[in-house]
Chains A and B, each alone.
Chain A
Amino acid sequence: MRIVLTLFLCIVVAVPAFAGPPVNGTYTSTDIGGSMLPGRYSENWTPAKLSVGNTLNEQSWDGGTLGTQWHWYCPWITFPPALLLNTVNGLGNGIKIWKVTYSGGYCWLDGAGPWAGGDPSYLANVTTWNAIVTETYSNFVEVGTVRNHDARAVFVGYDQNCMSLSVTNTEKLGDTNGGPLAPNYPDFWNWTTCTDIGTAGPGEWGDVDSITYTILGCEPLPVTPTTWGAVKSRYRN
């Protein structure tokens, strides 16, 4: 009887955990006509911008609360960024473009998002994360930065083909050289423990928008038909 009860509890617990994969499709952010929330980001510096070890933290923003729909966290800069273009002249005016490669990190999705498939939430391991960082300088001072991000991730608990692709725009709005982290922007995270390390920084922050996010290859976990007798026989000694 105890075995039967244990089996029953296992089934009840397992069903909510992987009730259904996220729904395949391409989702876009509300600023470009879709249903997915845009967001905000912070990047923890170790110890300066574009340094190896800098850690990203991006969260959806609904105008009042961070992270209700999605949270992408802990990709970190793995190699020194590559300078693709530098037009900054002797007066310190011009533009620099960097290619930045990140490693690791996670994508968390709220189960009630537009991709809702039955689970309370979804987690994916980031397998690729790149950024193109375009900086503009005036008199040797960085006065503006825009970024493209692209990422690929594989969902946990489903087939390896169950994955996501994303491209986004971001705009840097400030950094701790100019003052503390602005209110209502995501806390800084550190990749070594992948935890929230607060608001002190050093680091930068900004907005995330123009999101195109595709989920593909996600199918319900296969169910093998069986009989009650077969289940009992697996636990009979």
Chain B
Amino acid sequence: MKNVILVLALTAVLVVSAAAAFAGAPLSGTWKSTNGDFDEGTATTRWAAFNYLATGNVLYGQSYNGGFTNDWTIGCPMVVSVVPLGPPIGPLGNFTYMITYTGGYVTLGGPGNPWNGGDAVYTGIIDTYVEIRTIQTVGGKIVGAVSDHNVSAHITGYPESCVAWAIGNGVLRGGNAGLPLNMDYGVLQSVKGAGYPDYHTVACAPGAGGPGHWDDIRDLTLSITGCAVPTQQSTWGNVKSMYRR
């Protein structure tokens, strides 16, 4: 009898612990930063080899609203492919690249956000991350760039069907000198401001030095689906019967 009570007690502890970690799945739906549903943000990209357009570069983004917030983070996807969609970058013109990332994670803060289902934070493993970047160069220098970002991830701790995906616009605000062309500091920033996250290493450790570049991230649309955990009605008698010998 003592053993049965001990097992029941341990089970209760485990259930309570699990409930604290996964109190509730994120809600399904679509939300937009433009509508004020959640914050826009900023991002930094640490360069692997003093190169704005190179594999090995690591991106880190976070929601920002005058200060960093916990609405979302994009943690450390790494560039694995940089493919020009036209002529490669030159000293004058507009040049477009498809940049593919691998690895990394996303977090979505729970309380206060419209997708909140009870957890303090939801973590997703990135499945795909692609950026299409169009760069403007004048006089052999980069004067600006705009990007379309898109990411998809599956949320850990919930069914495999629990996925989140998002799109957004990015705009280059500044960066270090490097390849393939230096930046025009008459137009872009040469020093990363406090409103941009720390650079992160490949191992996703913060506080790393540059070189790198930084962007504003805007016009986000986030969708979540497939996260609800099916529940079954039960009685206390049924629960007890599960542990009856």
- Complex interface: stretch among B70-78, B139-147, B205-213: B139-147
- B169, A32: Cβ atoms closer than 8 Å: no
Is the CB of A93 closer than 8 A to any CB of chain B?
yes
- Cβ-defined contact, B186 with A26, below 8 A: yes
Query: Which chain A residues (210-237) contact chain B, with CB distance < 8 Å?
Result: 210, 212, 214, 216
20 contacts between A and B (CB under 8 A): A26-B186, A28-B144, A93-B163, A93-B225, A128-B94, A136-B150, A136-B165, A136-B166, A136-B167, A138-B30, A146-B219, A150-B134, A152-B94, A167-B135, A167-B146, A169-B169, A169-B219, A210-B171, A214-B136, A216-B138
Chain B residues contacting A145 (CB-CB under 8 Å) are 167
Q: Are B223 and A138 neighbours in the complex by a CB distance under 8 Å?
A: yes
Chain B residues within 8 Å of chain A by Cβ, number: 43
How far does the alpha carbon of A170 sit from the alpha carbon of B134 in the complex, in Å? 13
- Which of B130, B147, B165 makes the CB contact (< 8 A) with A85? B130
> Distance in Å from the Cβ of B137 to the closest Cβ of chain A?
9
B171 lies within 8 A of A143 (CB)? no
Residues of A within 8 A of B145 (CB): 167, 212
In the bound complex, CA of A214 to CA of B184 (Å): 12
Instruction: Given A99-B85, A165-B94, A171-B219, answer yes or no on A134-B167 (Cβ-Cβ < 8 Å).
Output: yes
Bound: A165/B150 CA distance, A: 26
Q: Mark A157-191, 1 if CB is under 8 A from B, else 0.
A: 00000000111111101000000000000000000
Count of chain A residues with Cβ under 8 Å from any Cβ of B?
43
Contacts of A132 in B (CB 8 A): 96, 132, 134, 148
| Chain B binding surface SS class | strand
Bound Cα distance from A210 to B187, whole angstroms: 13
Task: Tell me, in angstroms, the Cα distance from A139 to B165 when the chains sit together.
Answer: 13
Q: Which residues of B contact A103 (CB under 8 A)?
A: none
**In the complex, chain B residues 155-171 whose Cβ is within 8 Å of any chain A Cβ:** 163, 165-171
B170 / chain A contacts, CB cutoff of 8 Å:
169
| Residues of A contacting B186 in the complex (Cβ-Cβ under 8 angstroms) | 26
How many angstroms between the C-alpha atoms of A129 and B24 in the bound complex? Answer: 47
Chain A residues with CB under 8 A of B187: 26, 28, 212
Residues of A within 8 A of B (CB): 26, 28, 32, 84-85, 87, 91, 93-95, 97, 99, 128, 130, 132, 134-136, 138-139, 143-148, 150-152, 165-171, 173, 207, 209-210, 212, 214, 216
Q: In the complex, which of the residues A32, A168, A170 has the most CB atoms of chain B within 10 Å of its own CB atom?
A: A32
Which of A26, A91, A166, A173 interacts with B34 by CB under 8 Å?
A: A173
Residues of A within 8 A of B148 (CB): 97, 132, 134, 146-148
A97 vs B148: C-alpha distance in the bound complex, in angstroms? 9
Alpha-carbon separation in the docked complex, A144 to B171 (Å): 18
Interface string of B180-210 (1 = CB under 8 A from A): 0000101100000000000000000000000
Question: In whole Å, how far is B115's beta carbon from the nearest beta carbon of chain A?
Answer: 13
> B147 to chain A: which residues have CB within 8 Å?
148
The answer to whether A143 and B223 have CB atoms under 8 Å apart is yes
